[in-house]
Structure 1
């Protein structure tokens, strides 16, 4: 599984979305499913999927799928 697929899977599972959802268009609070509790579930999914521990600042900054990619790159995750 590619890192892009892992990231999508993390969003789908944490936010309890359909696999067909266009997660790349998602932004925090843009859908009812992405509330504060789901946000913490997403952080947990990302930590586990990529074997990292996000800093508090990054947890707060994670406001979209695109931002998640940017943040993960800081932790050495590559996307192709």
Structure 2
């Protein structure tokens, strides 16, 4: 994982789980909390889409761009 550390502060490791890093423990902790929230939101969103018969590709690009821009407010990088 060493080569990825300069560019990524959150990683999902197959068969191991999640890893977050930061300049201090609090930053790493909040990144883990953010990862958990994003994972739950993604999971529930996909469940809702499948029950409505909507394909992921049908989600409007502006909506996705808006969601990604919200990351800046929460200091999410990577």
> Same-fold call, TM > 0.5?
no
Write 1 or 2 for the structure with the bigger share of strand.
2
Which one has more relative contact order, counting CA pairs under 8 Å at least 6 apart?
Answer: 1
> How high is the TM-score relative to the length of structure 2?
0.30
